């Protein structure tokens, strides 16, 4: 995935190609099938760029924590909150619409690099109740990722170096292969990263690209900026099989939103579930357990 290959196709001059990408971005795909979206994307863009590499596990990504939130109102009566799976990726039967990184009836595990964006991204509102689960990467191999970061991200984003690295790598690699297509490839990369940041529902292009990365190629996960936090944090979309094999749920906290603002959230935690002998042991959380998540207690 870390190779930027020039496909065997005739690229038009840059001005025409750039205009084609602009037109592609504006197409209404409301009545289009997945195959029609896929084919149209290739008609205009000529290729789906593979923007990624590997996350090294040994002395690297293993031990890194990820956070996933789920609102109580989305948990059906048939689901069991004593099962860890209830707080993991959803069954395909409930994935009835496209999301930013999945097409309908394809499940992915959405999570974030911090608790705050995880809660914001689940569509939370004042007085909502939900569950925040804490997961740890414990992989027995390196993980392939697709990087959908722009070149520049806010300084607060701890993953921002990945966007800059892949932008510079693309320049270096494409310059070696065919410098005349460098502007074409940068424009295409910008289209992809923009769709993962700003595309509106029903996410026709980003969902198709995500499905290609996760289900049709060898990406284990996709990383992209959190739209709900103005790109200051990072979201991840992970293939379900990778979650089962390489992620471990460490604990789950039940919360209630008391005040939601653009840059902060106030909430109460009523329960914490520790995973003990493969069971969820619920109890009242201590102040220290809440503080571990980065939340400050209001006096």
* Backbone phi and psi for residue 47, each to the nearest 5 degrees, phi listed first: -160, 160
pLDDT of residue 16: 96
- Which residue ranges in the chain fall short of pLDDT 50? 1-8
Do 82 and 30 meet the contact criterion of CB atoms below 8 Å apart?
Answer: no
pLDDT tens for each residue of 182-201: 999 999 999 999 999 999 99
Do 130 and 115 meet the contact criterion of CB atoms below 8 Å apart?
Answer: no
Say which residues have a Cβ less than 8 Å from residue 49's Cβ, sequence separation at least 6. Answer: 4, 185, 188, 189, 192
pLDDT of residue 41: 97
pLDDT of residue 5: 41
What is the Cα–Cα distance from 209 to 211, expressed in whole angstroms? Answer: 5
Do 197 and 121 meet the contact criterion of CB atoms below 8 Å apart?
Answer: no
pLDDT of residue 230: 86
Residue at token pair 């974030």: 112
Domain locations in the chain?
A: 1-292
What is the Cα–Cα distance from 25 to 23, expressed in whole angstroms? Answer: 5
Rg (CA), the chain: 20
Give DSSP secondary structure letters for 59-125: IIITT-EEEEEEEGGGS-TTS-TTSGGGGSSPPGGG--S-BTTB-TT---EEEESSHHHHHHHTT--
Question: What is residue 16's three-state secondary structure?
Answer: helix
pLDDT of residue 298: 62
DSSP, res 268: E
Question: Taking the C-alpha atoms of 5, 3, 155 and 132 in order, what is their torsion angle to the nearest 10 degrees?
Answer: 110
pLDDT of residue 60: 87
Count of beta carbons in the 10 Å neighbourhood of residue 139: 19
What is the Cα–Cα distance from 195 to 176, expressed in whole angstroms? Answer: 28
Overall pTM surpassing 0.85 (yes/no): yes
pLDDT of residue 127: 94
pLDDT of residue 8: 43
Cis amide prior to 202 (ω within 30 degrees): yes
């Amino acid at each position: 995935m870390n190779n930027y290959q020039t496909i065997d196709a005739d690229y038009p001059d840059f001005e025409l190609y750039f205009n084609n990408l602009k037109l592609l971005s504006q197409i209404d795909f409301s009545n289009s099938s997945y195959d029609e979206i896929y084919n149209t994307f290739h008609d205009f863009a000529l290729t789906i760029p593979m923007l990624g590499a590997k996350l090294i596990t040994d002395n690297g990504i293993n031990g890194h924590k990820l956070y996933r939130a789920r609102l109580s109102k989305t948990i059906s009566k048939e689901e069991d909150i004593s099962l860890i799976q209830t707080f993991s990726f959803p069954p395909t039967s409930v994935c009835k619409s496209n999301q930013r990184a999945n097409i309908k009836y394809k499940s992915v595990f959405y999570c974030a690099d911090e608790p705050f964006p995880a809660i914001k991204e689940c569509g939370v509102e004042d007085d909502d109740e939900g569950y925040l689960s804490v997961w740890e990467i414990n992989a027995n191999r390196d993980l392939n990722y697709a990087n959908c970061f722009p070149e520049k991200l806010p300084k607060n984003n701890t993953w921002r170096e990945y966007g800059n690295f892949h932008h510079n790598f693309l320049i270096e690699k494409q310059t070696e292969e065919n410098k005349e297509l460098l502007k074409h490839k940068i424009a295409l990369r910008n289209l992809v990263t923009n769709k993962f940041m700003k595309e509106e529902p029903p996410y026709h292009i980003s969902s198709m690209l995500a499905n290609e990365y996760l289900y049709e190629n060898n990406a284990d996960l996709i990383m992209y900026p959190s739209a709900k936090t103005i790109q200051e944090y990072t979201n991840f979309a992970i293939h379900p099989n990778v979650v089962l094999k390489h992620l471990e749920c460490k604990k789950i906290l039940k919360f209630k939103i008391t005040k939601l603002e653009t840059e902060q959230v106030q909430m109460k935690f009523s329960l914490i579930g520790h995973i003990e002998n493969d069971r969820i042991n619920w109890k009242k959380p201590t102040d220290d357990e809440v503080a571990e998540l980065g939340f400050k207690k209001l006096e």
